[in-house]
Structure 1
Amino acid sequence: MTSLHKPFTEFRLPPYLVLVIGVFCVSTASILIRLVQNEASALTIAAYRMVLSVLILFPLAWQKREEWLSLPHSSLKFIGLGGIFLALHFAFWISSLRFTSVTSSVVLVTTTPLWVALVSPLVLKEHPSARTWAGLTIGITGGVIVSLAQGCTWQAWALSCPDFASFFQGKAFLGNIMALIGAWMASGYMVVGRKVRAGLSLISYVFMVYAVSAFVLLIFAILAQEKILGFSPLTYVYLLGLAIIPQLLGHSSYNYALGYLPAAFVALTILLEPIGASLLAMAILREFPNTLEILGGLIILLGVGLTSLPAKK
């Protein structure tokens, strides 16, 4: 199987610029999901997101059918595994938004770079640099601070938090666990993507992975007897937006970057998503960040910025 070599010939955009665009687009996902979750279940939302993405991609993917129809069986197995990871990621993460806040859910699911960095040396033989580990540590610290902001407050210049046991009670805890599982599934998806993406054009790779994910999610929704049709026109508009903006533009940007950049670094940029999501939640949902959330966001920016600095020659 072809992996981790010069990517399939295609018009090349600067991967760092593509990542910036991807972060902005993916940040819209939690907002769009919150706007439709009163009508559609988590599985239905995830299934629509992927099915619509595949339908939109099909005309472009069909032009490259010789590439993806001639792939060896070994490559197809990894692509299938990536699609399953992606389906489970969406199923768990979108479900988490019913039980916990946008910020908590997004922060926990964006612990993905930690798991990618731990797995990459074993699976991809990519060893993160000392600077990457430092940036990752700083970024994850910022994420933890944002998470604590959901249950802690500043009182008389001191941090006041509820008893430790209270973090493991109620619906919020269930939502947080779902978001964390979503992070583990996203890690598997990114590692597989780094292993396979380098030998395929972007269109062929994302079409096949998204198609597997769409099939799995649709089967899940049907078996769970979820409502699939009969939504309001505005809900269908939001679902289409979910497919176009965070999926086709956002996730595909990450997949593009995986053809050129180490998986750990691409995963690290996902830590910027809580910042974008919180800003959008403030503007659209009127959910305003508190002091700890702002502090955590600034620390996340510091961590990503440290890792993004050019290496000294």
Structure 2
Amino acid sequence: MAALGVAVLAVSTSAILVRWSDAPAVVLAFYRVLLTTLLISPFLLTRHRGDLGAFRRRDLLVAVLTGAALAVHFAAYFESLAWTSVAASVTLVQAQPLFVAVGAALFLRERIGPRTVAGIAIAIAGMAAMSAGEFLAGAAVEGSHPLYGNALAVLGAVMAAVYVLVGRSLRQRVALVPYVLVVYTACTLTLFLIAIAQDLPLAGYGRREWFLFLALAVGPGLFGHTVVNWALGHVDSAVVSVSLLGEPIGATILALVLLAEAPGATTVAGGVVVLAGIYLTSAARA
């Protein structure tokens, strides 16, 4: 539980670090995942070298597809922060449990109960209220386009759900470190190809940008999502899902203190409704 608390605090810093950076979103995502991969590689080489043998060809393909979905998640999420408020972006990205529930019902034939349906409906109503409020009042981002930013955040949530759904069965057969390493490597290569396709510069950044790249890898990457994956082996998944709802709250508070970005009343109210819907959905599927 202590590690989970550290992880939630770490992932809450992600949006702030992205906002502080002047690098393109895809470049930020690329270096975050690349540096995180390099940081965990020694653990594989020293303690988990033999675990790579658990990968069959089909498993390897699944892991690569999972990494590609994670790449789109990061790219969409980071880009959304340029167009909408931190509060809206982080809350909408955190809505991935809703899409996991829908995807599990459609593709894994899992039953959706009335509480899950109610949670999804509540969260969607909150998303609509949040987006409408930001569109009418204007998000706290200069030159913002909140509807576009919110749509990117929702895309990020959908891709995070794909990442969870596709990788869930594979994690039952493959240990954490080799799984994360293969997925992160595939994610890094996908982001590299996207950056090349968009003709984005991967070099020429100053010390400040490299510090932010490293901070994203160490904070949200290593002490955030990687620790969350570790905590899943020791804490009930429902507890982890509910704990992650602290990220939008933490990110919003940090944005208020460090960026002087105060969310509007409609954004706050809509965000609370979204979080309530996510909580109900997560609790119903526990």
**Deviation of the 1:77 alpha carbon:** 1.5
Name which of 71, 75, 79 aligns with 2:59.
75
- For residue 286 of structure 1, what is the aligned residue in structure 2? 260
1:123-152 C-alpha deviation (Å, 9 max, x unpaired): 445445544444454445444443343134
CA distance in 2 between partners of 1:144 and 1:235 (Å): 35
1:215 equivalent in alignment to 2:189: yes
8 A contact 1:75–1:196 mirrored in 2: yes
CA pair 235-271 structure 1, distance change in 2 beyond 3 A: same
Q: Whose Rg is larger? A: 1
CA distance in 1 between partners of 2:16 and 2:281 (Å): 28
CA pair 118-253 structure 1, distance change in 2 beyond 3 A: farther
**Deviation of the 1:270 alpha carbon:** 4.7
Name which of 12, 27, 37 aligns with 1:54.
37
1:120 equivalent in alignment to 2:104: yes
8 A contact 2:13–2:251 mirrored in 1: yes
8 A contact 2:238–2:282 mirrored in 1: no
1:94 equivalent in alignment to 2:68: no
8 A contact 2:134–2:146 mirrored in 1: no
Q: What TM-score do you get using the length of structure 2 for normalisation?
A: 0.83
1:27 equivalent in alignment to 2:12: yes
CA distance in 1 between partners of 2:236 and 2:118 (Å): 16
CA distance in 2 between partners of 1:132 and 1:26 (Å): 26
**Deviation of the 1:18 alpha carbon:** 5.3
CA distance in 2 between partners of 1:114 and 1:224 (Å): 31
**Deviation of the 1:57 alpha carbon:** 0.6
8 A contact 1:111–1:271 mirrored in 2: no
**Deviation of the 1:108 alpha carbon:** 2.8
Q: What is the one-letter code of the residue matched to 2:30?
A: A
- For residue 43 of structure 1, what is the aligned residue in structure 2? 26
What SS does the aligned partner of 1:150 have?
helix
1:198 equivalent in alignment to 2:172: yes
1:186-220 C-alpha deviation (Å, 9 max, x unpaired): 11011122221122222222111111101111222
CA distance in 1 between partners of 2:108 and 2:49 (Å): 27
What SS does the aligned partner of 1:192 have?
helix
Task: Name which of structure 1's ranges 289-298 and 231-240 shifts more when overlaid on structure 2.
Answer: 289-298
What is the correspondence of 1:1-313 to structure 2 with a 5 Å cutoff?
Answer: 19-36=4-21, 38=22, 40-62=23-45, 63-127=47-111, 129-152=113-136, 171-256=145-230, 270-300=244-274, 302-303=276-277
CA pair 271-133 structure 1, distance change in 2 beyond 3 A: farther
What SS does the aligned partner of 1:149 have?
helix
Q: How many residues align?
A: 279
**Deviation of the 1:309 alpha carbon:** 6.8
- For residue 7 of structure 1, what is the aligned residue in structure 2? none
CA pair 309-173 structure 1, distance change in 2 beyond 3 A: closer
CA pair 213-241 structure 1, distance change in 2 beyond 3 A: same
CA distance in 2 between partners of 1:269 and 1:128 (Å): 22
Question: How big is the alpha-carbon RMSD for the aligned residues of Structure 1 and Structure 2?
Answer: 3.2
8 A contact 1:136–1:268 mirrored in 2: no
CA distance in 2 between partners of 1:236 and 1:295 (Å): 36
CA pair 83-259 structure 1, distance change in 2 beyond 3 A: farther
8 A contact 2:76–2:156 mirrored in 1: yes
8 A contact 1:79–1:209 mirrored in 2: yes
CA distance in 2 between partners of 1:257 and 1:133 (Å): 28
Q: What TM-score do you get using the length of structure 1 for normalisation?
A: 0.76
CA distance in 2 between partners of 1:80 and 1:303 (Å): 31
**Deviation of the 1:251 alpha carbon:** 1.9
- For residue 141 of structure 2, what is the aligned residue in structure 1? none
Q: What is the one-letter code of the residue matched to 1:69?
A: G
CA pair 302-182 structure 1, distance change in 2 beyond 3 A: closer
8 A contact 1:103–1:146 mirrored in 2: no
1:22-50 C-alpha deviation (Å, 9 max, x unpaired): 333222111110001x2x11111010001
8 A contact 2:135–2:147 mirrored in 1: no
